[in-house]
A and B are shown apart, each in its own frame.
Chain A
Amino acid sequence: MVEIIISIFLLTGGILSFLGSIGIIRFPDVYGRLHSATKSATLGVIGILLGTFLFFLILHDLFIGKILLGIIFVFLTAPVGAFMISRTAYNTGIKLWDKSVQDDLKTDIEKEKQKNRQ
């Protein structure tokens, strides 16, 4: 029973990481690739680490706090990294996909410029 639960965690993590990488190949622009890489790959790694933690906790009676620390660290820092990359991509002038319909940041920047002129 325990082995089945751990196996489900591990397989879910592996499949999510693989799907994230397929998204990195298939999406058309940087922002779409960030969407795939950040959400799916992060959840996959968290699944694999939870499986490892449960494996050592239940089958070997070892509590490893470092793996929990790793889970918390990945969970906290992956969104920060994705935000920094997307901000850099927008500021260095990388275009959105040509079929995108909405660019809220552009209108906000233009409003801010007009406010500064007055």
Chain B
Amino acid sequence: MIEIVSQITLVLLTLSILLCTFRLVKGPSMADRVVALDTIGLNLIGFIGLVMILQETVLFAEALLIIAILAFISTISFAKFLEGGVVIDR
């Protein structure tokens, strides 16, 4: 049962990433694209959780954390860069 539910959820997450990709390509401003990228990162974390359930392994837990950290840092640095042109200001 959990296997079928995981596969259904994987399909839902795939559709969600497709919709975000549409916004990423089309988005009228750069802020829209950053929002879409942030959401794609969040959905990838869910993907890895579901793959952990489907394959019954715990080896992907580190990958989950690293993708979370990379998504956060890329969002913050894109926001800083779009605002002022500098990522690290003193």
Contacts and interface: CB of A to CB of B under 8 A. Distances in A.
| Interface residue range, chain A | 35 or more
Contacts of B86: none
Interface string A64-77: 10110110011001
A42 B71 CA distance: 13
Contact of B65 (A24, A34, A70): A70
A87 B38 contact: no
A22 B52 CA distance: 26
A57 B73 CA distance: 30
A25 B22 CA distance: 8
Binding site secondary structure of chain B: helix
A22 B19 contact: yes
Contacts of B88: none
Given A11-B5, A24-B36, A88-B83, A78 B29 contact: no
A37 to B, nearest CB: 5
Contact of B2 (A3, A64, A67): A3
A84 B5 CA distance: 35
A13 B6 CA distance: 11
Given A81-B75, A89-B31, A48 B49 contact: yes
B45 A45 contact: yes
Contact of A41 (B23, B32, B43, B53): B43
17 contacts: A3-B1, A14-B12, A17-B16, A20-B16, A24-B39, A30-B32, A37-B35, A48-B9, A49-B49, A56-B58, A62-B58, A67-B49, A80-B76, A85-B35, A87-B79, A88-B82, A92-B82
5 closest Cβ pairs, A-B complex = A14-B9, A21-B16, A14-B12, A66-B61, A84-B79
